[in-house]
A and B are shown apart, each in its own frame.
Chain A
Amino acid sequence: MNIFAKLGHDIVRLWSEYAGLYLSGVWNTVSLAVLCTAVGCIIGLLCGVLNTIPFTNNDNIFKRILLRAIRIINQIYVEVFRGTPMILQAVVIYYGLPYFTNYALRFSNVWLCAFVVVSVNTGAYMSESVRGGIISIDPGQTEGAKAIGMTHWQTMTNVILPQALRNILPQIGNNLIINIKDTSVMSIIGFTEFFAIHKSIAGTTYQYFPSAAIEMVGYLSLTLIASFLLRMWEKKMDGAGSYELVQVDSLTMTAGTYSHPKRGSNYDEQSKEFRGRVKQSLKFGRNRGER
């Protein structure tokens, strides 16, 4: 028990001294992850859509060559960025750019470099997810849309993508959570996200384990919150499980044409006579006495 008390004591001391630093790291991590996931999704969506434009041998030659070229370029992009570690991509881009351009071109800002690397990386993964999402939609949906005269673009934006997006939402969630954790490799180029903060604090205080414990709890809370929010979003997109029948109300047409009988007249619902008649008719039926 003693050891846990000591750990608690150490954590509290670390936190009270460096809370601001840790929180700034959390902010950097979360903002980078969320932004990069969003931008990565847009890149992936674009690639996925361009990749699935249909063409037949009847189309003219330029269209066919262009679409084929797009598919090949996309394939290369996906394979390169999916097939190499992100940590290396960061290093190659951050140090490679000035190396090749003789320092004419370089990232003046580490954040910007990290942003580019993580976004492009996420885009490569999302491109394949979006493509999968699109081809998973029943071809009948496309035919239905085409049959009422929609163009390919209208079909995509109104019918296919909303459904595909719902199907790949779990994949977007996956990517967000992966990004929250994997942005930690951006410390290699000196980006001060959550994990980089741990390294610098542990380096000055030699409190490796207590600081790592704080990081553990921090990362886990972030990813739990992320997955909770994504579940909520999924539920919202699914919409209501039930629907309401709309009763076609034939009386709406006659609204305003009915005027209430004068107070005290025999047809006034408040009058004694009218109430008596209603009571009688409920009891014995409407035709009583008229036979």
Chain B
Amino acid sequence: MEEKILNIKHLSKSFGSHEVLRDIDFSVAKGDVISIIGASGSGKSTLLRCINLLETPTRGEIWYRDENVADRKVKPHEYRSHVGMVFQSFNLFNNMSVLKNCMIGQMKVLGRSREEAKRIAMDYLQKVGMAPYINAKPRQISGGQKQRVAIARALAMNPEVLLFDEPTSALDPEMVGEVLMVMQQLAQEGMTMLVVTHEMAFARDVSSRVVYMNEGVICEQGSPEEIFGNPQKQETKDFLARFRNA
């Protein structure tokens, strides 16, 4: 009996007359590691941002446990503390040190004490290998390091699901590895993760399910073996062929 955390029903999102997401149905169970792949502009990031309510869905429902969070009565900030997000551009708070970045949410949102927040922040910073840099400001560390801090910041809130929005796309090639390694470790520890990515090797080796999106709809989904080994749809085949040739 697997435990459903997120259940998305008939989700649509339009920007003006442009429909970015069309009738998405999709669910996330505890411990799932789902990679969302697809060409640029296929709506992958928008889907992730809708799940975190950074974009308001035009239509449809997003059920978190037994609550429809797409309903306007729900306060988004309460729900967001259960769903962590890691951005392409890191979005660390520039006015705070690395440690403070990981503490502020715990203190202000979860109401933890300073000591407790510090202990938990240090735990996760140690885990991503950033403990020596707690006094540094975001502008003083490299992109890969920033992203690892951002992951620690999200983890420190003890989220049930972690959303990654192209976490390695803004990184220099030599820094991609360190971030992927942290993510792989998290996946092995049973963290529920949704990863929008262009790293096909990561999608193939780490995820439990791969979702291929094309023009705002989920074109095909299945296990990595199914998607990468034996894709059914022509669009999926074409997309993967382009990656193999690259």
Q: Is the beta-carbon distance between A58 and B56 smaller than 8 angstroms? A: yes
Query: Within A126-164, which residues are at the interface with B (CB < 8 Å)?
Result: 138, 140-141, 143-151, 154, 158-159, 162-163
Q: At the interface, yes or no: B210 with Cβ under 8 Å from chain A?
A: no
* Bound complex: CA A96 to CA B54 (Å): 50
Given A141-B94, A243-B140: A148 and B132 interface contact (C-beta under 8 Å): no
Nearest to B101 among chain A residues (CB) is: A144
- Determine how close the nearest CB of chain B comes to the CB of A131; give it in whole angstroms: 19
User: What residues of chain A lie closer than 8 Å to B157, measured between beta carbons?
Assistant: 148-149
Identify which of A143, A242, A248 contacts B87 (C-beta below 8 A).
A143
Most chain B CB within a 10 A radius of its CB, from A144, A146, A248: A144
**B147-171 CB contact bits vs A (8 Å, 1 = yes)?**
0001001100100000000000000
- Determine how close the nearest CB of chain B comes to the CB of A20; give it in whole angstroms: 46
Query: Within A13-69, which residues are at the interface with B (CB < 8 Å)?
Result: 56, 58
Q: At the interface, yes or no: B12 with Cβ under 8 Å from chain A?
A: no
Given A158-B104, A248-B126: A140 and B72 interface contact (C-beta under 8 Å): no
User: What residues of chain A lie closer than 8 Å to B72, measured between beta carbons?
Assistant: 58
Q: At the interface, yes or no: A246 with Cβ under 8 Å from chain B?
A: yes
Q: At the interface, yes or no: B60 with Cβ under 8 Å from chain A?
A: no
User: What residues of chain B lie closer than 8 Å to A141, measured between beta carbons?
Assistant: 91, 93-94
* Bound complex: CA A247 to CA B134 (Å): 10
**A154-195 CB contact bits vs B (8 Å, 1 = yes)?**
100011001100100000000000000000000000000000
Q: Is the beta-carbon distance between A149 and B135 smaller than 8 angstroms? A: no
Q: Is the beta-carbon distance between B87 and A140 smaller than 8 angstroms? A: yes
Identify which of B89, B132, B137 contacts A247 (C-beta below 8 A).
B132
* Bound complex: CA A243 to CA B157 (Å): 26
* Bound complex: CA A56 to CA B108 (Å): 25
Q: At the interface, yes or no: B230 with Cβ under 8 Å from chain A?
A: no
Q: Is the beta-carbon distance between B56 and A147 smaller than 8 angstroms? A: no
Q: Is the beta-carbon distance between B94 and A143 smaller than 8 angstroms? A: no
User: What residues of chain A lie closer than 8 Å to B94, measured between beta carbons?
Assistant: 141, 163
Nearest to A56 among chain B residues (CB) is: B56
Given A159-B95, A243-B136, A248-B131: A154 and B108 interface contact (C-beta under 8 Å): yes
Q: Residues on B close to A: CB < 8 A? A: 52, 54, 56, 72, 76-82, 84-85, 87, 89-95, 97, 104-105, 108-109, 126, 131-137, 140, 150, 153-154, 157
Identify which of B80, B97, B140, B150 contacts A146 (C-beta below 8 A).
B80
Extra inter-chain contacts (5) besides given A149-B105, A150-B108, A158-B108, CB under 8 Å = A147-B52, A147-B154, A149-B82, A150-B109, A166-B95
Nearest to B136 among chain A residues (CB) is: A243
Q: At the interface, yes or no: A244 with Cβ under 8 Å from chain B?
A: yes
Q: At the interface, yes or no: A5 with Cβ under 8 Å from chain B?
A: no
* Bound complex: CA A144 to CA B147 (Å): 12
Identify which of A147, A239, A246 contacts B132 (C-beta below 8 A).
A246
Given A56-B56, A148-B80: A246 and B109 interface contact (C-beta under 8 Å): no
Most chain B CB within a 10 A radius of its CB, from A143, A149, A150, A163: A149
* Bound complex: CA A116 to CA B52 (Å): 46
Nearest to A142 among chain B residues (CB) is: B91
Given A158-B108, A243-B136, A243-B137: A143 and B93 interface contact (C-beta under 8 Å): no
- Determine how close the nearest CB of chain B comes to the CB of A142; give it in whole angstroms: 9
A-B contact pairs, 26 of them (CB 8 A): A140-B87, A140-B89, A141-B94, A144-B91, A145-B93, A146-B54, A148-B80, A148-B81, A148-B109, A148-B153, A148-B154, A149-B77, A149-B82, A149-B109, A150-B108, A158-B104, A158-B108, A159-B93, A163-B95, A166-B95, A243-B135, A243-B136, A243-B140, A246-B132, A246-B134, A248-B131
Identify which of A138, A159, A246 contacts B135 (C-beta below 8 A).
A246
Q: At the interface, yes or no: A3 with Cβ under 8 Å from chain B?
A: no
Q: At the interface, yes or no: A245 with Cβ under 8 Å from chain B?
A: yes
* Bound complex: CA A243 to CA B132 (Å): 10
* Bound complex: CA A154 to CA B108 (Å): 8
Q: Is the beta-carbon distance between A147 and B104 smaller than 8 angstroms? A: no
Given A159-B95, A243-B137, A246-B134: A144 and B87 interface contact (C-beta under 8 Å): yes
Nearest to A237 among chain B residues (CB) is: B95
Q: Is the beta-carbon distance between B109 and A144 smaller than 8 angstroms? A: no
**A51-93 CB contact bits vs B (8 Å, 1 = yes)?**
0000010100000000000000000000000000000000000
* Bound complex: CA A56 to CA B55 (Å): 11
User: What residues of chain B lie closer than 8 Å to A150, measured between beta carbons?
Assistant: 77, 105, 108-109
- Determine how close the nearest CB of chain B comes to the CB of A77; give it in whole angstroms: 29
User: What residues of chain B lie closer than 8 Å to A244, measured between beta carbons?
Assistant: 135
